[in-house]
Amino acid sequence: MSAPQHHLPDDWFVALASGTLAEAESLLAATHLTYCPTCRDRLALAEVAAARALEAAGPVDLDPGGLDALLARLDEPEPEPAVPQTADPVLPWPVLRITGPLASLRWSWLAPGVRGVDLPVPTTGLPMRLVQMRAGVQMNHRHAGTESGVVLAGGWTDEYGTYGRGDATFCDPELQPVHHQRIHDDADCIALVLNEQRALMDNPLFTPIARMLFKI
Ligand SMILES: [Zn+2]
């Protein structure tokens, strides 16, 4: 498996290192980090910076060996891109510990070729979901809020790039209002997805009634 090509937003590393990233975004980050040595290194650097900031801030009783150990980690040889070490062939551990094995999931039909499972994770928008999209499906939609996710299986191509297993995806409605997503033909795609607001589907099959029913 090749390493991810699409990574976490810059500001997430500071929030992760300081423990202030929201739970849903933290789940996305933890999931991406299981695949991505690049982002694991960046997080280690952010943790070093956070530790130094704490030291500079005043009399905090830090473990004197902690910072040295963290710095030493940065000098270690780069590991191979991680294949999630779980009992499940698709779901990495941050997701698996919430959902249980993929084979046990009870999917709900969302739209033609699309089904999902809501996750019990607090959000400020729509429920966080595992979404499975059938190979070859075209998902044309517009964003009214941010859409973020991590690809767990399969992949897609859109106007912003090509995404495969482990890639982090972010759409800002201000910068990327239109999203034409083509699921790759060779395999169904599964992604962990967080939408701030409902996407507005352009496909004729996605009628307003369907949107109401499917909550997409
Ligand atoms: Zn990354």
At 174 the pLDDT is: 87
At 4 the pLDDT is: 95
How far is 184 from 58, CA to CA, in rounded Å?
53
Token pair for 182:
């083509």
**Cα dihedral 6, 181, 148, 12 in deg (nearest 10):** 20
Token pair for 111:
């739209």
Whether ipTM exceeds 0.90: yes
Distance 205 CA to ligand 1 centre (A): 34
Residue pair 152/168 in contact (Cβ under 8 Å)? The answer is: no
100: left (phi over 0), alpha (psi -120 to 50) or beta: left
At 216 the pLDDT is: 46
Q: Is 7 helix (H, G, I), strand (E, B) or coil?
A: coil
Neighbours of ion ligand 1 (CB under 5 A): 7, 36, 38-39
Residue pair 164/156 in contact (Cβ under 8 Å)? The answer is: no
At 29 the pLDDT is: 97
Distance 62 CA to ligand 1 centre (A): 29
At 88 the pLDDT is: 87
DSSP string, 100-123: --GGG---EEEETTEEEEE-----
Distance 207 CA to ligand 1 centre (A): 36
Distance 42 CA to ligand 1 centre (A): 9
At 166 the pLDDT is: 97
Distance 29 CA to ligand 1 centre (A): 9
Per-residue pLDDT of the chain (216 residues; tens, 9 = 90+): 689 999 999 999 999 999 999 999 999 999 999 999 999 999 999 999 888 888 887 765 545 565 566 556 556 655 555 554 567 889 999 999 999 999 999 999 988 899 999 999 999 988 999 999 999 999 888 888 889 999 999 999 998 899 999 999 998 888 887 888 999 999 999 999 999 877 766 654 554 444 544 444
Residue 70's contacts (CB-CB under 8 Å, 6 or more residues apart) are 44, 47, 48, 51
Distance 19 CA to ligand 1 centre (A): 18
Distance 33 CA to ligand 1 centre (A): 6
3-state secondary structure 46-102: HHHHHHHHHHHHCCCCCCHHHHHHHHHHHCCCCCCCCCCCCCCCCCCHHHHHHHCCH
Distance 208 CA to ligand 1 centre (A): 36
Distance 45 CA to ligand 1 centre (A): 14
- The DSSP output letter for 154 is S
Angle, helices 10-18 vs 23-35, to 10°: value is 110
Distance 6 CA to ligand 1 centre (A): 6
Distance 38 CA to ligand 1 centre (A): 5
Residue pair 141/198 in contact (Cβ under 8 Å)? The answer is: no
Distance 180 CA to ligand 1 centre (A): 23
Distance 9 CA to ligand 1 centre (A): 9
At 59 the pLDDT is: 63
